[in-house]
Amino acid sequence: MVDADQTFVIVGGGLAGAKAAETLRAEGFSGRVILICDERDHPYERPPLSKGYLLGKEERDTVFVHEPAWYAQNDIELHLGETVDAIDRTAKTVRFGGDGTLVRYDKLLLATGAEPRRLDIPGTDLAGVHHLRRIAHAERLKGVLSALGRDNGHIVIAGAGWIGLEVAAAAREYGAEVTVVEPEQTPLHAVLGPELGSLFADLHREHGVRFHFGARLTEIVGQDGMVLAARTDDGEEHPAHDVLAAIGAAPRIGLAEAAGLEIAAREHGGGVVVDERLRTSDPDIHAAGDVVSFPHALFGTRLRVEHWANALNGGPAAARAMLGQDVTYDRVPYFFSDQYDLGMEYNGWAPPGTYDEVVIRGDAGKRAFIAFWVKDGRVLAGMNVNVWDVKDPVQKLIRAKTQVNTEALADPHVPLESLVP
């Protein structure tokens, strides 16, 4: 039986919002839980959209967080295909964008996520220009890649980040021709730096991907509404039947900004500012997932983390904080990727400029190794490539914040656990 005396509203029906709703019930909250999702699909997980589902190796039903019946069974009031266009912090209400309905809240969680950054160039209105964020995007792209592979077609991908590379791998598995255009000199530069980015460039070249580094798209050329080619700022023109914009994601902060909540500076991700309890500048409003910029004591800065694990863990943490529990959100950032026969996991945070060396344990040439980003002998991040069951010791090394012997760190015969103080 639901107790209507308290109402918790969750805006955003992705993984963070769905897991927050699940946690509220698991922790014994008996009030109303209203979950508002602007998509018509039930809440789902996004990693399969560029991995197994895009490749046709996973069925559509496998991406959903819960069975559709779960929401009614747990008294979650799920609103699909609905938007919230305003928050009144004084009245403590949210307003539905469709019909203007007002819903009062006692606690509000913003889990509005992120949206793909758009190419600001001529030609983006052509039919063959794609983004990948939602299940509808993945369904469309799956059909496109299959057709390109069948007809020896060509896709140009703007951006050599995780989404760009995973789609490139999928496209090659379908048999499509692929060119990746990237302004940096190596893929994944913002995360891995040049030392490990070159490994991924080699991997994709071996599978037939062409890279055009040090350039940006300036125009998508078309005829009769269809893509013909993509031009870059150095005068090159690449033939293309389709173009994927994979140049990153921007936090969906419009609702929070309009409500007067504090927004982080660009260098801190530009998300909604929260404290270690995932509270915004309004104590009755929390935020979680891709949209937040949170303080991380381990790294001494604010982070905005777009990866699956942040939504998986952040939603429940915010729910517990909304219930008044003592919460400190300080998870070590974690993500994974699968490309061809390479599987990897990354733990930590070490963008270029924050580390002074990369220590390799294993054989990078055979793509079976662990890489550690180290600053003054301290491990900031670790990436295991085709090496498994090392997440816990890697995270412990990062959390220890103590100097390690880098020769021992590089030696596969020295157990990682022995290096943790």
Note the pLDDT tens digit of each residue in 301-325: 999 999 999 999 999 999 999 999 9
Note the pLDDT tens digit of each residue in 127-185: 999 999 999 999 999 999 999 999 999 999 999 999 999 999 999 999 999 999 999 99
For 74-176, list the strands marked E by DSSP.
76-80, 84-88, 93-96, 102-104, 107-110, 114-116, 129-130, 154-158
Please spell the DSSP secondary structure of 64-87, one letter per residue: BSS-HHHHHHTTEEEEET--EEEE
Q: What is the pLDDT of residue 2?
A: 63
Q: What is the pLDDT of residue 19?
A: 98
- What structural domains and CATH numbers belong to the chain? 7-115+250-322 (3.50.50.60), 129-247 (3.50.50.60), 341-419 (3.30.390.30)
Residue 273 structure tokens = 């500012």
pLDDT surpassing 90 at residue 92: yes
Side-chain-facing half-sphere of 10: CA atoms under 13 Å: 33
In sequence order, what are the beta bridge partners of 245?
158
Q: What is the pLDDT of residue 5?
A: 85
pLDDT surpassing 70 at residue 1: no
Q: What is the pLDDT of residue 421?
A: 86
pLDDT surpassing 80 at residue 257: yes
Q: What is the pLDDT of residue 98?
A: 82
